[in-house]
Structure 1
Amino acid sequence: MQDPYSRELEVAADAVRRAADRYVRSDGGPSEEKENAVGSYDLVTYSDRQAQEDIIRTISAEFPGDLFIAEEGEENSLTDARTWVIDPIDGTLNYERGIPMFGTQLVLMVGKEPVMSVIYLPVPEEMFTATVADGVRLNGMPVKPCGGHDLKKCIVSTGDFSRKKQEWRDIHYALIGAMKDEVARIRMFGAACVDFAYLASGRTDIHIRFVNKLWDFMPGLFMARVSGAYVDEELLSEKRFLLLTRTAEEASQYRDIVLSQIDM
């Protein structure tokens, strides 16, 4: 089956790699604090903005007329038009502090549906790509689907505490307490790109987060779906809470054992 988005994938991967190669050699440049709804510390660096400009410039040269939604200032509304959703540096605080858990992620939306995504982790030089036709690949090699585990053997990654709602932060905190004795390990990597890439490639078993901005979750959610991961659609649509697992059985155990302890 020929991949109808092979050219877009090629251009996107090249744009992301070039931008990342530039920012990993930089010290980040000047940074400034960003405000959010709950008052927690967040920042943006010069490298965030430069990477975004570089990626948009490269993609626009190949696909003039395409639209962009991106973290650092591109605020177009999502329509049926071809739209690239970009997080130029996901895990900016890790990047700024020299913690090697950060990357760049993007997804192409057509008719408001994702059709292709890229996640690049520049420190280990891992390029994850996903299309429906070609599946998930890591550095060009197919990623094999992974089986599930009993909940007690699962490694669970969680997103950062929400910067959108205090209620979400409180639930997140309660969830960590509820699952601390029920799973093998809990990880908070501090970068959604790492969370999703690791789930899609079978390095972790379960990922949880509240979803907010498209650039935070859509590239990785699409990649996870293509990999065959299970998404609890009810929680996602009703609570904006993402429970992402390798199998439906893992999700069922997580709901019965962990979520049953929490007032969502």
Structure 2
Amino acid sequence: MEKVHEYYQFILPLVIEAGKVMKNVVEVKTELKNNDYGDIVTQYDRQIEEVLIRKIKDRYPTHCHIAEEEMSTKDEKPNLTDEPTWIIDPIDGTANFARGIAFTCVSVGLTINKEQVLGVVLNPYLDELFTAIKGEGAFLNGTRIFTSGCKDINTSTMNYEITIARNEKYYDLYMYRFKHLIKTVAGILAMGSAVMGLCYVACGKTDAYQCDGLYPWDAAAGTLIVREAGGFVSDSSGEEFDLMNPNFLATASEELCQQYLEVEGNADEEREQCLREGKEYMP
């Protein structure tokens, strides 16, 4: 773990500098990405990512990286190897960032031997620095954090990125689950940043976060931070979480996760039945 501490001390000031770039932005120009989500990108996403990659390669030339904007220009899926791999989301919650909404962040995760070992997330607007090293706990601005520990779905507040449903591939999946969840949980939020959504489960501000159809950079740092804060992360199907195909359910406790999986499982069964019968989604 000595090396991981070295990597932490290396990446932390780079993430803080990236946060300063975000905070000092005056004008943001957006472009539409070529994907099914209607995602946008700004000049600052690219600028921050390029600087992070360059400085990582200068210091550790044998290390690998997986970065959002770089991968968005390639018609291929990222490949995770055993080599130290930096997984970078230069600005997560770009739509929030472009609109001046202070729920956005820089996120960097590190894997070694395909295992998540380090996560650093900074929201410069709210001065929230979330960090975790595998086996050493999770922290917010240097103070140890824990999930809420919630074990009852009926009293839980959930973060659910319903806007993913605009992708036709996920529309039915999201809408059927939403139909079941809205009748069960105490509250549902849609906050617009996967990484910050995970970090807010870690620090107890929300109790659960579920999202399908994301990418490794959306989950590499945040899921580690949740686990190190005492939370539980599962694939939303109930299978083991797969960083390279991150359909995740992150909860304050394992007991809460199982309750969410049961509700969402019932929703998925209803959806499958309607598909077999040729029915379109019905609320």
Per the normalisation by structure 1, the TM-score is: 0.89
Aligned mates of 2:97, 2:246 — CA distance in 1: 27
Q: Which residue of 1 aligns with 2:252?
A: 246
- The letter for the 2-side match of 1:140 is G
- The letter for the 2-side match of 1:41 is G
Alpha carbons 2:130, 2:138 under 8 Å: kept:
yes
CA-to-aligned-CA distance 1:45-71 (integer Å, 9 cap, x gap): 100001111222333333232121101
- The letter for the 2-side match of 1:65 is T
Alpha carbons 1:236, 1:242 under 8 Å: kept:
no
Q: Which residue of 2 aligns with 1:109?
A: 111
Alpha carbons 2:28, 2:98 under 8 Å: kept:
no
Q: Which residue of 2 aligns with 1:70?
A: 67
- The letter for the 1-side match of 2:23 is V
Alpha carbons 1:182, 1:258 under 8 Å: kept:
no
1:179 aligned to 178, 181, 200, which one?
A: 181
Task: Please state how far the C-alpha of 1:211 moved relative to its aligned partner.
Answer: 4.1
- Between stretches 198-207 and 212-221, larger displacement belongs to 212-221
Q: Which residue of 1 aligns with 2:267?
A: 261
Aligned mates of 1:122, 1:4 — CA distance in 2: 27
2:39 aligned to 11, 18, 42, which one?
A: 42
Q: Which residue of 1 aligns with 2:5?
A: 6
- The letter for the 2-side match of 1:64 is P
Gaps of 5+ in 1: none
- The letter for the 2-side match of 1:45 is T
| Pair 1:123 & 2:125 matched | yes
Aligned residues: 261
Relative distance call for 1:43 and 1:65 in structure 2 (3 A) is: same
CA-to-aligned-CA distance 1:91-119 (integer Å, 9 cap, x gap): 11111111111101111111121110111
Aligned mates of 1:129, 1:35 — CA distance in 2: 32
Aligned mates of 1:133, 1:80 — CA distance in 2: 19
CA-to-aligned-CA distance 1:211-238 (integer Å, 9 cap, x gap): 4311012221122122221233553459
Alpha carbons 2:91, 2:104 under 8 Å: kept:
yes
- The letter for the 1-side match of 2:128 is E
Q: Which aligned segments of 4 or more residues in structure 1 are displaced greater than 6 angstroms?
A: none
Relative distance call for 1:202 and 1:90 in structure 2 (3 A) is: same
Task: Please state how far the C-alpha of 1:189 moved relative to its aligned partner.
Answer: 0.6
Aligned mates of 2:175, 2:165 — CA distance in 1: 13
- Between stretches 133-142 and 90-99, larger displacement belongs to 133-142
Q: Which residue of 1 aligns with 2:279?
A: none
Task: Give the root-mean-square deviation of aligned CA atoms.
Answer: 2.4
Q: Secondary structure at the match of 1:20?
A: helix
* Aligned-residue identity in percent: 28
- The letter for the 2-side match of 1:35 is N
- The letter for the 2-side match of 1:71 is E
- The letter for the 2-side match of 1:262 is D
Alpha carbons 1:156, 1:204 under 8 Å: kept:
yes
Gaps of 5+ in 2: 272-283
Task: Please state how far the C-alpha of 1:194 moved relative to its aligned partner.
Answer: 1.2
Q: Secondary structure at the match of 2:164?
A: coil
Q: Which residue of 2 aligns with 1:17?
A: 16
Per the normalisation by structure 2, the TM-score is: 0.83
- The letter for the 2-side match of 1:200 is A
Aligned mates of 1:172, 1:9 — CA distance in 2: 36
Relative distance call for 1:145 and 1:93 in structure 2 (3 A) is: closer
Alpha carbons 2:233, 2:250 under 8 Å: kept:
yes
